[in-house]
Amino acid sequence: MLRGRRPRAPDRGFTLVELMVTLSLIAILLMLAVPSFTAMLRNSQVRTIADALQNGLRQAQSEAIRRNRQTVFSLTNAEPSLSSQAVADGTNWAIHTIPRATESATVREFVQGGSLSDSSAGVTIDGPAALCFSSNGRQVAHDTPGVGTATCTVDGAQPLVGYDIARVGADRRLRVTVSLNGQVRMCDPDKTFSSSHPDGCM
């Protein structure tokens, strides 16, 4: 006796209501995710600029030690070069050597420069126009570093000089500090340095 086959249930797709509910849920999830994603991108911009500043300062310090002569790290809005003018909150950085007292001012040499503007849209940098390093890598005062009108000062009562980096809409600010003995460090100014917050600022 032949047994009849059970008819197969027809393939069933999504109904219009199911599709609309799914799309609505996806839209809600995207709306919730966009603000945190935007903040993450802006935090990344702040970190990129802080890293670039820290690397530039360390490069200026190492060049001072390597060349056994004073160097100046400066911020500038111009293309980094021998004639770039130092300005506070500049969008680029430059490193120059400082002539010795026995040398002509024309002995000044451009060492290296970098850009802070490639990824710094909306990022603010608050700090000195120039910092000078002695041949042993420490901060040093210099009245005529030969970079525009910038001068390097040292305040014995203020052991740290810092650059504050921030961006509107970012969750996190960063600071790059340079101590009198030349230690360059990145920290979070919203935290106080301690054993529980080693990334905090002093």
Q: What is the pLDDT of residues 153-184, one digit of tens each?
A: 888 788 888 899 998 878 889 999 999 888 99
Taken in order 166, 172, 177, 183, the sign of the CA dihedral is negative
Q: What is the pLDDT of residues 81-103, one digit of tens each?
A: 888 888 888 888 999 888 776 77
Q: Residue 167 forms beta bridges with which residues?
A: 123
Q: Is it the case that residue 38 has pLDDT exceeding 70?
A: yes
**Hey, what CATH topology would domain 59-201 get?**
minor pseudopilin epsh fold (3.55.40)
Confidence tier at 34 by pLDDT (50, 70, 90): low
- Nearest partner of 78 among 86, 70, 69, judged by Cα: 86
Domain boundaries of the chain, sorted by first residue = 59-201
Q: What pLDDT shows up at residue 24?
A: 80
Q: What pLDDT shows up at residue 2?
A: 55
| Interval 118-131 mean pLDDT | 82
